[in-house]
Structure 1
Amino acid sequence: MARSPHIFLSSLLLAASILEGTLAAKIIVTNNASTSPGGIRFDREIGAPFTIATVKSINDFIWKLFRQNSDAERKHVPVLNVVVKHLDDGALAETGGDNIYVNDWGIRSFGNARFDFTALMYHETTHIFQWSGRGTAPGGLTEGIADYVVMKSKYFVAEGYTKPGEGSRWDEGYGVTARFLEYCDGLRAGFTVDLNNKMREVYRDEYFRDLLGKPLEQVWKEYKAKYGRS
């Protein structure tokens, strides 16, 4: 008996959906500072279930923002570890490989624990899934893209954040670079997304000319002039 083409198509779509689900990162949360004030607060006010759900949601947000609609376009991360621990360097959080390390001291200083933690996860999770030209992109650029993603989320707090035009270098990182990327988006819709996706294998300054028709140095100079900052 011949199968209905509608049933066959539905089976293919279901199989594709299941396959895509298996390629999403598995999130593992470990609290290695469970007896410290920050570690205790993590367990009480944030917790592993919330962290897993939040990071998965952020992962989907990043894929949509970066217009990475197929597995071939995405960075494959089989397992993503979120580890709460004491960081001797004083960083609020940092990444290494497919791991996010959150400083227990930082959790202790949060205002709204879940809100602040989620905003932090937007930044750090971006580092896991963004392209960096296999390490050839300036560190300030990857930090700026991570902040750019936070700015696109509903967890961005503008008060006290870097203002447009501030900074001394385009790749200064964080808010300075994120604001510059925001400006570049105004010159070409989707610039930052296109730049990230071009950096899969290698980073080159020439990508600015490719996308904007101007060399990077000129774009930065015009950006600073727009906001009256030298």
Structure 2
Amino acid sequence: MACHKIFLAISLMLVVSMVNAVDFSVFDNTGNSPGGRRFRDEIGSVSYGEQSLRSATDFTWRLFQQTNHSDRRDVKMITLFMENGRTPVGLIEGIADYVRLKAGYVASHWVGAGGGDRWDQGYDVTARFLDYCNDLRNGFVAELNKKMRNGYSDGYFVDLIGKDVNQLWREYKAKYGQ
């Protein structure tokens, strides 16, 4: 009889663990691109990516003290898609901070207009540069954002304003005496 109770307890634990199990998958859509090769050479394989997702999820559950399945949101699958995004990260961060700038949520530590070393430095620097570009052409940032849905090209600045991004950066810096 004790053997049946142990079997029942183990069976219930397995069923509960399967109900709350999370499937992890990684799709590497980078092909033989430089970024794809770098990922595989320096980071590893798709199976390593799945292992990393599992480790990150377990770490997060421990960090937020969600050791019991009932403490966690019921998530069935976590998927990572590896893509060939060539958009400068600083531009993406800059667009986010541009929204903050326009909403009036400028942090006290932000550089002033004209500050920074590169237009794609990111965050406050790029936000201020984008604001300058938007002053040259109203709606510039919205149009740039639309164009970036399928990738990125420095040529978007020429398309939208008629000037190379590096020329715009030089003019921006000169305007503010930098």
TM-score when normalising by structure 2: 0.53
How many residues align structurally? 108
Instruction: Name segments (4+ residues, structure 1) moved above 4 Å.
Output: none
Q: Provide, for residues 122-142 of structure 1, a one-character-per-residue CA deviation record: whole Å limited to 9, x for no partner.
A: xxxxxxxxxxx9611111111
**Preserved CA contact (<8 Å) 1:145 1:177:** yes
How far apart are residue 226 of structure 1 and its match? 0.1
Structure 1, unmatched stretches of 5+, are 1-29, 36-78, 80-95, 99-132
For residues 183 and 32 of structure 1, the distance between their equivalents in structure 2, rounded to whole angstroms, comes to 45
Q: Secondary structure at the match of 1:199?
A: helix
Q: Secondary structure at the match of 1:228?
A: coil
How far apart are residue 34 of structure 1 and its match? 3.5
1:33 lines up with 2:58 in the alignment: no
For residues 163 and 97 of structure 1, the distance between their equivalents in structure 2, rounded to whole angstroms, comes to 37
Structure 2, unmatched stretches of 5+, are 1-59, 66-74
For residues 142 and 84 of structure 2, the distance between their equivalents in structure 1, rounded to whole angstroms, comes to 17
**Preserved CA contact (<8 Å) 1:134 1:201:** no
1:137 to 79, 87, 90: 87
1:200 to 126, 142, 149: 149
Among all aligned residue pairs of Structure 1 and Structure 2, give the percentage whose two residues are the same amino acid: 54
For residues 137 and 151 of structure 2, the distance between their equivalents in structure 1, rounded to whole angstroms, comes to 21
Aligned partner of 1:151 in structure 2 is: 101
* Highest RCO, 1 vs 2 (Cα 8 Å, sep ≥ 6): 2
**Preserved CA contact (<8 Å) 2:114 2:177:** yes
Q: Provide, for residues 13-37 of structure 1, a one-character-per-residue CA deviation record: whole Å limited to 9, x for no partner.
A: xxxxxxxxxxxxxxxxx875345xx
**Preserved CA contact (<8 Å) 1:145 1:178:** yes
1:171 to 93, 97, 120: 120
Give the 5 Å matches for 1:1-230: 33-34=63-64, 135-154=85-104, 156-229=105-178
For residues 178 and 134 of structure 1, the distance between their equivalents in structure 2, rounded to whole angstroms, comes to 24
**Preserved CA contact (<8 Å) 2:100 2:106:** no
Q: Secondary structure at the match of 2:95?
A: helix
Letter paired with 1:223: Y
How far apart are residue 151 of structure 1 and its match? 1.8
Which of the two has greater helix per residue?
Answer: 2
For residues 160 and 143 of structure 1, the distance between their equivalents in structure 2, rounded to whole angstroms, comes to 16
**Distance change >3 Å, CA 33–CA 147, structure 1 → 2:** same
TM-score when normalising by structure 1: 0.42
**Distance change >3 Å, CA 134–CA 192, structure 1 → 2:** farther
> RMSD of the alignment, in Å?
2.9
